[in-house]
Amino acid sequence: MYATEDALGKAEEELAVIIGNRLPKPGSSHIVHLVSLEGRYGQDKFNFQSAAEGDMIRLISLNSWRFACTEETHESFTGLARNLKPGGLLQLPLLPKGSDAQNYANAHLNQGSAPLPHAMRQGNKSISWYHGPLVPGFNTTQEFALPIRSADDLVYFNQTYRVFDVSYAAAWELGRLLVLQNNRIATKLFHWKRSEA
């Protein structure tokens, strides 16, 4: 657990990192419970409080959430690259010529954005715009509130046309993974966080 600070150096809130020791089953939906183990550990062992093997143990659920896990078929970069095929992008629905929605879609397509499938955490499916960092033209995206704590904070949702843009979220996640891949930088970042906490 660590605390964040605002621009004046005052503590804002405490954040926790949760680490699990089991991987979710691909292709299915899951529910996670964050439970309290207060009073259940002593001398590095779990205190079963005289419960026999196979007995149910009551724990307090502090929070719970649901998520879906995709199949592991093409989820690596190599797998995605090998399965690229012409016409793999989603086809946008036919929109009336000159309509606001068509103008909105054309503006994104002209700037190099692509409509891609978007799998939601709960298993729902949608489409999202995605573009690389070298976009022709001016960037008109609204500013995001700092600090950014996860890629989800950078998923842009257009209220008018009810569509997501995941370009900034993908760039943030790529940057995070590149830093974690470099052991020297990741170690320095870890020590800096500990010294600031």
Tens of pLDDT, residues 106-146? 888 888 888 888 888 777 888 889 988 777 666 666 677 88
Instruction: Kindly list the distances between the CA atom of residue 97 and the CA atoms of 55, 103, 106, in Å, as whole numbers in the listed order.
Output: 66, 8, 11
The pLDDT, as a whole number, for residue 135 is 73
The β-bridge partners of 165 are: 129, 156
Instruction: Return d(Cα 26, Cα 180) in angstroms, integer.
Output: 24
> What's the pLDDT score for residue 94?
56
Closest CA to 129 of 114, 151, 112: 114
- Write down the pLDDT at residue 137: 67
- Phi, psi angles (nearest 5°) of residue 192: -65, -45
- How do residues 25-51 score in pLDDT, each as one tens digit? 877 888 888 888 888 877 778 888 888
> Do 116 and 128 touch, CB atoms closer than 8 A?
yes
Residue 3 has pLDDT above 50, yes or no: no
Q: Tell me if 52 sits within 8 A of 94, measured CB to CB.
A: no
Q: How many residues does the chain have?
A: 197
Name the residue ranges covered by the structural domains of the chain: 1-84, 96-197
Dist. CA 29–CA 58, nearest whole Å: 24
CB of 29 closer than 8 Å to CB of 67: yes
Tokens 């990192």 belong to which residue? Answer: 17
At 84, list the tokens.
């690229």
